[in-house]
Chains A and B, each alone.
Chain A
Amino acid sequence: MFKIALKSLIYRKWSLVLTISTLLLSLFLLILVSRVHQSSRSSFTKVISNTDLIVGPRTSAQNLLMYSALGIGQPTHSVGEASFNFIKNLPTVSSVNPITIGDSYKSYPVIATTEVFFDRPNVNIDQGATLKLSHMSAVLGSEVARKNNLQIKDRLTIDHGGGAHSFETHDEHPFVVSAIIQPTGTPLDRFVFIHVSDFSLLHNKEKPTNTVDSTTKVEGHHNDHDHDHDHDHDHDHADEDVRYNAFFVNLKDKSTIFNVKRQIDEFNLEPLVSIIPGQTLLKFWDNFKVFELAIEFMALALIVMSLLAVLSQVLSNIQIRVKELTLYKISGASNRFIISLVFLEVFFISVLSVFLSYVLFYSLQPLILSHFLEPLGLYLDISKMTSTEVFYILLVTGLTLLTSFFTALFIIYYSKKMSVRINRGL
């Protein structure tokens, strides 16, 4: 029967190709949406998992979360040392990790921070001796190192401001790669880390005090622009003191979180806003709900269309199909054989569509990742199936098989009439 089902499908190969194409495209879309959804959520959650509060200059909660933790967007303001000291001295605060952002390296965000930033469970060293931000050294996220072929002791110059095409570089202040972080599957992979004091140095126009080994490789080929160039960038520069765009705050006693939050929000020397990152992230995802629902709806609509395509494949030219199956019956085939044959054909179509949708997904994922997702700061985990995609695959397969069962019953019913017509010399 296996052989007969295959021959029958091959006989209808062109309509089969169209049916499978529709089905595999809808499955591909569902897999992609489900993976992006799942991996982005999980990677964003990982980044903020060990932070109790994120504090920054007054802005919207979601903007603060996005630029500080996820590397998406830019800050519009900064705060000074007074805010840092105020937070640090709050009695239940155990650690404050300041960050300053605004510069970039080949469009990858540069995060100026301290070593405390690396004190989190999912950050491990891949290359280099230690995750220490010594003077004029840079620690790289795995993707930055891989995509730019950077090794330990390589030199790099960072661009002034964000964006893909910077007109100004800090090439008078080259950094040396001191460590590369293991892939984390989070936005950290796309960050370049330098020390906050070095960031101030760049923007105070001081000359570097260290001498970089002349044998090291120089990365980055940028035009040497004067800093007075009228370039659109967001962070303050040429300030005398250190400026910060956000603080990652951890508390000794988690139960004091709302109390600390209130104290920070009421700080009157500089306008500050504090957020509970998990809560803000949930609100952030809520914004995408409509978008996600729209995509899921489209994908489900595609599934329905695919099912109709499968049905039309099986029923393509119903007269011929019923006549053919009636001929099997006249030759002695049982109804069970007819049902099994139709069932098997549809099963082939389903399995082949699922298989090819994964082939398409894995073939296109580097392209999708580099051209569509990474620029948006989104991630694609290719290592494991999500529960949503398993559900959709089972749904599609189940529905196609159910469709085939009813189709077979219809054919059996109709074949009684067809027997007469065959006998009449149709």
Chain B
Amino acid sequence: MQSVLSFNQVEFGWLKDKTDLKVKQISFQESSKYFIYGPSGSGKSTLLNLLTGFIKPNKGEILLFSKDITKLSDRQLNKFRATHMGFVFQSFNLIPYLTAEENIKLPLKFLKKAPAFDLNKMVTKLNLHDCLKMKTELLSHGEQQRVALLKALISSPEILVCDEPTSALDSEVESQFFEVLFSDLCKDMTIIFVSHNMSLKDKFDHQLSIEVFKDV
């Protein structure tokens, strides 16, 4: 299997003289599902910020599809990230004044791509039909998270990054979420799922403790 994302000798510190994270070498393989766990404040989000290019390491390289994203300009990185990565966050992060449908289709507008799936089918499957034309600020947490998931998947990114996406959901909505996440739709995607909820770890191919990355 091919590596889609890898860290080589990466060092990062929030303060200038302090190193918080040190990763010698790690690769994320194509179509694999990763579960990264660790307690709150252990550095999971720092790792996600590094692998998505939102922050740059003090040292080392981060290769996304063989391209060192630490060397890219903000503009290049922005486009590169949007093309190859989808995001699902704990706090949904939807535009409140746009409808659910407009939010879902937003990446297509900027990336000029065709939808990766039949939106109507997926909307019916996730019980979102009634809220498609509603502003997202009016939706429940569960509905918002399902909308956020469809938004992340619609441009068929190769990598899906999920940061504690189910921590605010009830068990029924959580199972619906995982149903989509492990459906054929995401079969070829590399999923990097970060959570402190250890009960979820068996759903994934690889389980990595955040401590693995912290070779400080």
A351: Cβ under 8 A from any B Cβ: no
Query: What residues of chain B lie closer than 8 Å to A425, measured between beta carbons?
Result: 45, 89-91, 163-164
- Residue of B90, B95, B163 near A328 (CB, 8 A) is B95
A414 in the interface (beta carbon within 8 A)? no
Our pick among B78, B91, B98, B163 for the contact of A329 (Cβ within 8 Å) is B78
Q: How far is the CA of A327 from the CA of B136 in the complex (A)?
A: 14
The reply to whether A423 and B52 contact each other, CB–CB distance below 8 Å, is yes
Cβ-based interface call for B83 (8 A): yes
Interface check A7, CB cutoff 8 A: yes
Task: Tell me how far the C-beta of A313 lies from the nearest C-beta in chain B, rounded to whole angstroms.
Answer: 15
Q: Which chain B residues in 97-149 approach chain A with CB under 8 Å?
A: 97-98, 106-107, 110-111
Q: Is B49 an interface residue (CB 8 A)?
A: yes
- The reply to whether B75 and A332 contact each other, CB–CB distance below 8 Å, is no
Shortest CB distance B174–A (Å):
17
How far is B97's CA from A328's CA once the two chains are assembled, in angstroms?
A: 13
Is B39 located at the chain interface by the 8 A CB criterion? no
Judging by beta carbons under 8 Å apart, are A10 and B91 in contact? no
Which residues of B from 166 to 194 have beta carbons under 8 Å from A? none
For chain A, give the interface size range: 20 to 34
Pick from B75, B93, B98: contact of A335, CB under 8 Å: B75
Q: Which residues of B contact A416 (CB under 8 A)?
A: 54, 74
Residues on the A chain within 8 Å of B87, using CB: 330, 423
B55 lies within 8 A of chain A by Cβ? yes
A332 B98 Cβ-Cβ under 8 A: no
Q: Does B206 contact A (CB under 8 A)?
A: no
List 23 A–B pairs whose Cβ atoms lie within 8 Å, in order of A's numbering: A7-B97, A7-B98, A324-B95, A327-B94, A327-B95, A330-B82, A330-B93, A331-B110, A332-B82, A334-B75, A334-B79, A335-B75, A335-B78, A416-B74, A419-B54, A420-B55, A422-B89, A424-B45, A424-B49, A425-B45, A425-B91, A425-B164, A426-B91
User: A330-B87, A331-B106, A331-B107 given. 17 additional CB < 8 A pairs?
Assistant: A7-B98, A324-B95, A327-B93, A327-B95, A330-B81, A330-B93, A331-B151, A332-B78, A333-B110, A334-B79, A335-B75, A419-B49, A420-B49, A420-B54, A423-B52, A424-B45, A426-B91
